[in-house]
């Protein structure tokens, strides 16, 4: 039986991810067992993506993420305020976070679907 030709596989250099030094671990920011239980209960009650439903025409997409419509920035009062939670699919959550929540150094700006919340309380 003929031998298989050898293929060239370059040695990859390991990519290292360096998080911002001031950023805490997820469990230190409140994403602990209590959060996981509350998140699961919220997604059971709100199983579809609110952002997809607000599109024209509306899309029906399963929600896999609970989005804090108002970025909590470590404030436990905002973090646990369920009236500020929005069920979202991963695609919509990532888009909203990257464009509206100050990700990648961008300015924080309100999201149209989350407009029912004011920062005044």
pLDDT digits (tens, 9 = 90+) for 5-58: 777 666 666 666 555 567 666 666 667 789 899 999 999 999 999 999 999 999
Mean pLDDT over the full length of the chain = 78
- Structure confidence at residue 59 (pLDDT): 93
Task: Assign 110 a pLDDT band (cuts: 50, 70, 90).
Answer: low
Mean pLDDT, range 82-109, rounded to an integer:
80
Q: How many Å apart are CA 53 and CA 37, to the nearest integer?
A: 25
Is the bond preceding 57 in cis, omega lying within 30 degrees of 0?
yes
Q: How many Å apart are CA 90 and CA 76, to the nearest integer?
A: 23
The strand ranges marked E within 20-121 are 65-68, 85-88
Q: Is the dihedral of CA 40, 44, 45, 48 positive or negative?
A: positive
Helix (H, G, I), strand (E, B) or coil at 91: helix
The CB-side HSE value for 46 (13 A sphere, CA atoms) comes to: 20
CA-to-CA dists, residue 23 to 20, 60, 106, angstroms: 5, 34, 16
Which tokens is 28 given? 């230190």
Q: Where are the domains of the chain?
A: 31-107
Whether pLDDT at 1 is above 60: yes
């Amino acid at each position: 039986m003929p031998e298989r030709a050898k293929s060239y596989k370059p040695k990859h250099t390991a990519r290292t991810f360096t998080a911002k030094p001031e950023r805490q671990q997820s469990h230190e920011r409140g994403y602990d067992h209590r959060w996981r239980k509350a998140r699961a209960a919220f997604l059971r009650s709100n199983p579809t993506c609110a952002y997809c439903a607000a599109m024209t025409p509306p899309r029906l997409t399963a929600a896999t993420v609970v989005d804090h419509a108002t970025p909590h920035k470590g404030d436990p009062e905002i973090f646990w305020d369920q009236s500020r939670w929005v069920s979202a699919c991963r695609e919509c959550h990532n888009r909203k976070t990257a464009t509206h929540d100050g990700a990648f150094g961008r300015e924080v700006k309100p999201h149209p679907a989350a407009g029912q919340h004011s920062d005044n309380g």
